[in-house]
């Protein structure tokens, strides 16, 4: 069975006290009971950490500062568009002696943190926390860059006017995906801001060095930029989807216009031939006697009559401007 719990120790260069990081992957009931009893974490916080639908929030639980975040779930290949399917939750519980992380998967964010900690690259716990939070939001940067590439492909398909029945569905899927990311980022920004404000309060037991205060501001600014970035992509996608719908409507209108032109031509031709057919049909009846039937100039009289009828029909159509475009 794969190991689902890691514990590390590093020295806090600020306080001189040891600091522990307990990383729990897919914690089971026994692990949650241990955390509740041994680490004095409330059951409500642990239940929220296990809930797959819990959105990013900040809470204070005893001496723990609790931050729920959602990161882009790795290796997600199916066409999903909901927050729960696109992202996975990481729970950070932080105090002056300990960092506890709880998560269902083992994402690269946490793996990289463990690797760097084993190489003694973190001078104090705040450096570790800043690294994990930065890498968490980097997952959104990568995901939004991928969607931007897909948006460019979608744009090319729209302007090439491809005969693809799934093109509108593709555009709406990308819109829903970006909307889900934007929603999580907006909520995450508020949660991270509350988290750092709580750490900087006078009654807080943390001593944040100036460089980490600046790093905290950089993280908050990064989230704002990601929200703005997702807004831009969403606006572009909305315009492309509407343009695609307009182009499809234009195609339908052009087909309808051509169909109307054909019907107009057929109508005009029928106006010419209907009276001629009437005359031909009249003289085609099998009666023993009909006017001009045996007349020596009967044929030419009928031809002149039919030409006269056609000529008057032509003049009438021209006067009504029904011959334009034919």
Question: 265-319: which CATH architecture?
Answer: Up-down Bundle (1.20)
Q: What is the pLDDT of residue 2?
A: 46
- In angstroms, the CA 34 to CA 45 distance is 14
- Residue 8 pairs in a beta bridge with 21
Residue the block writes with tokens 């998967």: 105
Is residue 9 very low, low, confident or very high in pLDDT (cuts 50, 70, 90)? confident
Mean pLDDT for 31-41 is 88
**How are beta strands 18-25 and 98-103 bridged, if at all?**
parallel
Q: What is the pLDDT of residue 178?
A: 93
* Residue 176 CB contacts under 8 Å (≥ 6 apart), including other chains: 81
Q: What is the pLDDT of residue 66?
A: 94
Burial of residue 192 (CB within 10 Å: 0-12, 13-18, 19+) is buried
State which fold the 5-251 domain adopts: Beta Polymerase; domain 2 (3.30.460)
User: Same topology for domains 5-251 and 265-319, yes or no?
Assistant: no
- Residue 87 pairs in a beta bridge with 72
In the sheet that holds 87-94, the strands lie side by side as 5-11, 18-25, 98-103, 87-94, 64-72, 57-61
Asked whether residue 116 carries a pLDDT value surpassing 50, the answer given is yes
pTM (two decimals): 0.74
**How are beta strands 18-25 and 57-61 bridged, if at all?**
unpaired
Average pLDDT, the chain: 83
- Residue 58 pairs in a beta bridge with 67
119-163 pLDDT tens trace: 888 877 888 999 999 999 999 999 999 999 999 988 888 888 766
* Residue 203 CB contacts under 8 Å (≥ 6 apart), including other chains: none
Query: Where do the structural domains in the chain lie, given as residue ranges?
Result: 5-251, 265-319
Asked whether residue 44 carries a pLDDT value surpassing 50, the answer given is yes
310-325 pLDDT tens trace: 888 878 877 877 666 5
Tokens standing for residue 94: 């932080």
The answer to whether the Cα torsion of 224, 230, 234, 237 is positive or negative is: positive
SS3 readout for the chain: CCCCEEEEEEECCCCCCEEEEEEEECCCHHHHHHHHHHCCCCHHHHHHHHCCCCCCEEEEECCEEEEEEEEECCCCCCCCCCHHHHEEEEEEEECCCEEEEEECCCCHHHHHHHHHHHCCCCCCHHHHHHHHHHHHHHHHHHHHHHHHHHHHHHHHHHHCCCCCCCHHHHHHHHHHHHHHHHHHHHHHHHHHHHHHHHHHCCCCCCCCCHHHHHHHHHHHHHHHHHHHHHHHHHHHHHHHHHHHHHHHHHHHHHHHHHHHHHHHHHHHHHHHHHHHHHHHHHHCCCCCCCCCCCCCCHHHHHHHHHHHHHHHHHHHHHHCCCCCCC
Cα–Cα nearest to 19, from 136, 134, 129: 129
């Amino acid at each position: 069975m794969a190991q689902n719990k890691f514990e590390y120790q590093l020295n806090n260069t600020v306080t001189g006290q040891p600091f522990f990081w307990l990383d729990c992957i897919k914690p089971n009931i026994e692990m949650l009971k241990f955390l509740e009893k041994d680490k004095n974490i409330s059951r409500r916080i642990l239940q929220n950490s296990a809930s797959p639908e819990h959105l990013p929030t900040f809470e204070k639980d005893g001496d723990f500062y609790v931050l729920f975040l959602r990161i882009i779930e790795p290796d997600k290949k199916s066409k999903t568009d909901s927050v729960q399917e696109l992202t996975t939750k990481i729970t950070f519980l932080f105090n002056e002696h300990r960092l506890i992380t709880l998560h269902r998967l083992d994402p690269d964010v946490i793996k990289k943190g463990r690797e760097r900690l084993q190489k003694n690259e973190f001078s104090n716990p705040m450096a570790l926390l800043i690294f994990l939070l930065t890498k968490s939001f980097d997952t959104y940067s990568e995901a939004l860059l991928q969607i931007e590439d897909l948006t460019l492909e979608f744009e090319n398909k729209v302007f090439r006017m491809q005969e693809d029945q799934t093109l509108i569905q593709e555009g709406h899927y990308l819109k829903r995906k970006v909307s889900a990311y934007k929603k999580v980022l907006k909520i995450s920004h508020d949660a991270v801001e509350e988290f750092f404000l709580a750490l900087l309060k006078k009654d807080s037991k943390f001593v944040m060095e100036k460089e980490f205060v600046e790093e905290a501001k950089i993280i908050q600014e990064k989230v704002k930029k990601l929200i703005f970035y997702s807004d831009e992509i969403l606006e572009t996608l909305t315009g492309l989807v509407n343009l695609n719908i307009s182009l499809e409507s234009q195609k339908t209108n052009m087909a309808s216009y051509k169909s109307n032109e054909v019907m107009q031509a057929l109508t005009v031709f029928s106006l010419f031939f209907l009276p001629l057919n009437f005359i031909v049909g009249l003289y085609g009846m099998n009666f023993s006697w009909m006017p001009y039937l045996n007349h020596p100039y009967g044929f030419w009289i009928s031809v002149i009559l039919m030409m006269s009828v056609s000529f008057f029909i032509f003049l009438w159509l021209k006067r009504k401007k029904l011959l334009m475009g034919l």
